[in-house]
Amino acid sequence: MKRKAYDGVYNKFIKRGLDIVITGIALLILWPLYLILSLVIVMEDGFPVFYKADRGGYKNKTFRICKFRTMIKNADKVGGGTTALNDPRITKVGNVLRKTKLDEIPQLGQVFIGKMSLIGPRPELVRYTNQYEGEEKDILKVRPGITDFSSVEFINLDEIVGGENADEMYEKYVLKKKNQLRIKYAHEVSFKTDVSILFRTLGAVLHKSFGFLFRNEHR
């Protein structure tokens, strides 16, 4: 039987070493940015600076994902788990962080300690990962990542799910497709795949950020 990519040497050993080296350097360089963004968030809406929530993780072990907080306090209690288009829970600073993807950079620390990887299936809500069946379970055989195939395809997820019934729209039109792309990653994980996704992600993020900051798109 042919060995699956997620059982290979790259996924089990080399990938982890690259994550440690790259994020270790990034954290040393980016700490002033962390401080600036933290201060801006506090100035607008106080503490906490970070948003933490349970997600399904590597080997089906739940972990708490960490992002810069982009919504009002206790947003989970006044809305669903999927962010709608023009979601009123999003703060002004949070809107900028989301459009530029800067809200994701605290996850570099989670990559460094081994909860996540730079490239890997985007971590999903536990209520969804608990329902995985068949090949979907392969998703949990690689570390969840900051970006993957689905991150690029669904970079404008809020526009896809719309402004109403976001959770319902996500489950109906997005979740299965996302899972197919997550499975694709688990089955194709390699250095070449990771480099390709990294450059595709950088291109997509720069395009989205440029449109938001300089063309007033989706403000």
pLDDT reported for residue 2? 63
Query: Tens of pLDDT along 93-136?
Result: 999 999 999 999 999 999 999 999 999 999 999 999 999 999 99
| Whole-angstrom distance, CA of residue 167 vs CA of residue 84 | 8
| Whole-angstrom distance, CA of residue 70 vs CA of residue 58 | 26
- Are 60 and 129 spatial neighbours (Cβ–Cβ below 8 Å)? yes
Torsion of CA 107, 109, 113, 119, to 10 degrees: 40
In a domain, 219, yes or no: no
In a domain, 90, yes or no: yes
- The tokens describing 58, both together, are 């590597």
Give the count of domains, the chain: 1
pLDDT reported for residue 126? 94
Domain that holds residue 90: 5-214
In a domain, 47, yes or no: yes
pLDDT reported for residue 215? 67
Long-range contacts of 72-78 (CB under 8 A, 24+ apart): 72/45, 73/45, 73/46, 73/48
Query: Tens of pLDDT along 187-202?
Result: 999 999 999 999 999 9
Q: How confident is the model at residue 7 (pLDDT cuts 50, 70, 90)?
A: confident
In a domain, 54, yes or no: yes
In a domain, 149, yes or no: yes
pTM: 0.90
In a domain, 87, yes or no: yes
- Where residue 116 falls (left for φ over 0; alpha for ψ -120 to 50; beta otherwise) is beta
In a domain, 135, yes or no: yes
